[in-house]
Structure 1
Amino acid sequence: MTKPTTTIKVNSPSLLAENGFYFHTQIEHTFLKEVQHMLFTYYHETALEHSITTHYRLHQFLAPEDLLDIERIAESFDVYLRFDKCKSVSDNQEKIIIIDNRLIVVQQRKIFFHELCHVLRHVGDQRKMHFLFKEGQETEADNFVLYAFMPFYMISQLEIPNRQEDAIRFLASTFKVPLKLAGKRLEQIQRRDLQGRMLADSVKQTETKRNTINVSHHNHGETRLYAYFDSTGDYIEPSQIIIQVDPQTLISEQEILFSPEGPFERLEESQLEAFVDSKPIKFNDLDYTRDGRISLKLSHLASRYYNSAFKFIVQRKDIEQVLDCYGADF
């Protein structure tokens, strides 16, 4: 039986370059072979990515070409977008983005998505902000660019060539983005798909050993928040908050949001032994949201502890420092 002839459109590099951004002319090649396409069965969207997906679908952004119209995207988010002969800037209180009209289109789009994240998700003036908070916001904005430029629900519908180089060129051409950004997004998806695959295998092998929490016999498949009140303190506010994250949430979600006021499950001193392996949460793992909640950056923890730690402890002083930066109280 002969194998079917399948036409695959891949991009052969041209010599065209503009301000460091390389594009590719479309050249159609025909291969007489069985076609293999990349599949991402175990990929899970983060909370941030899911929010973008939900919004895009609700407003009928369904194909890559729909994302070329950033004015329509801004309007869908109720954000005012203006182009001017000045440095690009945004105001998250007024929900305004101004883009430098002297830049090439692909740079304008990249800056737009970066600033859109600041407008939609961040509070505070970065000029007066602690550098750790500024760094955290910039990291989230960079991820937002990848998700908004190249949404996974669109990528998953494409027949992506199996060779890495061809796949990057294909995505860059399809979404009209620089090669470097397309490569970064593809590698991010592949890494998370691999993490999901490894997690699925690990859960199957260890489910009888690691599927319970030692406190109150709760299922390890849940994320739970506990509070410990130091007996030497005032008993009014918890001295530590302990967060137990289930493995699936750790690799699939970008963050966990919780109110500094709880509710929390109270831990007694006799129960602390179950949490002696808790890992410390650093100041720059935390952020503050518009609705008064604390954001715990799970992506930081997953990377730092190689997806092998699931219990984390937050000190009261770190939460107080976060709230103090935004003029809030614990």
Structure 2
Amino acid sequence: MYSHLEDYIYKLFKSIGITKPTDLEMKLIAKKLGVNITYDENKLFRLDNEVSLKKGSKVQEWIEFAHEVCHYLRHCGNQLNMHPLFRQLQEYQAEYFAYHFCVPTFMLDRLFNYTIRDIMNIFNVDYDFAVRRLEIYRNRHMNQPVIWFNR
């Protein structure tokens, strides 16, 4: 059984034709979501449909993109005017969203006998990110009864 976030990401990706790890391409997804990517060396931010990233490796940019897409899709308001605790909540949500966006559960479910290195290569994420994502996945899905159905 998927969580609300896992279902949300599954439906989002399905709606834009993202079905396998090779489809997880930042510029393609941005275009399909109507997001413009810009680069700013000083800060990351999202304003309307613009996502600003720091120039970095493809891995860093992919993870930052996922974080900022969460703000674009799921948050509203100006964080500068928010109570610090609410801003902190939004940042936590965006970080958690990024794990599921970069390494979607429905794609992980299709893999067998994989290593952390496999996750890094398949999903274009770094070691720490892959380790944390697998912890989240295993904590959520490995202790549940198996229910077979087609997605």
- Write 1 or 2 for the structure with the bigger share of strand: 1
Q: CA-to-partner distance for each residue in 1:29-80, whole Å, 9 max, x for gaps?
A: xxxxxxxxxxxxxxx322122111112122221221211x211111222222
Match status 1:180 vs 2:128: yes
Aligned to 1:143: 96
Shift of 1:195: 4.8
Shift of 1:86: 4.9
Shift of 1:82: 2.4
* Number of equivalences: 145
Aligned to 2:149: none
Match status 1:55 vs 2:5: no
Runs of 4+ in 1 over 4 A off after TM superposition: none
Aligned to 1:46: 3
Cα distance in structure 2, aligned partners of 1:130 and 1:137: 11
Match of 1:99 among 31, 36, 53: 53
Aligned to 1:189: 137
Aligned to 2:107: 154
Shift of 1:95: 1.6
Structure 2 length-normalised TM: 0.86
Structure 1: runs of 5 or more not aligned = 1-43, 162-166, 198-330
Shift of 1:107: 0.8
Contact 1:49 1:144 in 2 (8 A): no
Aligned to 2:70: 117
SS at match of 2:76: coil
Aligned to 1:66: 23
Q: CA-to-partner distance for each residue in 1:171-217, whole Å, 9 max, x for gaps?
A: 112112101111111111111124535xxxxxxxxxxxxxxxxxxxx
One-letter amino acid of the structure 2 residue matched with residue 81 of structure 1 = I
Cα distance in structure 2, aligned partners of 1:132 and 1:87: 20
Q: Which has the higher contact order (CA 8 A, sep 6+)?
A: 2
Contact 1:106 1:176 in 2 (8 A): yes
Identity of aligned residues (%): 30
Residues 1:138 and 1:87: Cα distance change in structure 2 (over 3 Å): closer
Shift of 1:88: 2.7
Structure 2: runs of 5 or more not aligned = 146-151
Match status 1:77 vs 2:77: no
Q: CA-to-partner distance for each residue in 1:67-120, whole Å, 9 max, x for gaps?
A: 1x21111122222222355533211xx22112223x111111111110110111
One-letter amino acid of the structure 1 residue matched with residue 116 of structure 2 = I
Structure 1 length-normalised TM: 0.42
Cα distance in structure 2, aligned partners of 1:48 and 1:89: 22
Contact 1:53 1:153 in 2 (8 A): yes
Larger radius of gyration: 1
- Write 1 or 2 for the structure with the bigger share of helix: 2
Cα distance in structure 2, aligned partners of 1:109 and 1:170: 17
Shift of 1:138: 1.0
Cα distance in structure 1, aligned partners of 2:39 and 2:79: 22
SS at match of 2:144: helix
Cα distance in structure 2, aligned partners of 1:169 and 1:110: 17
Aligned to 1:168: 116
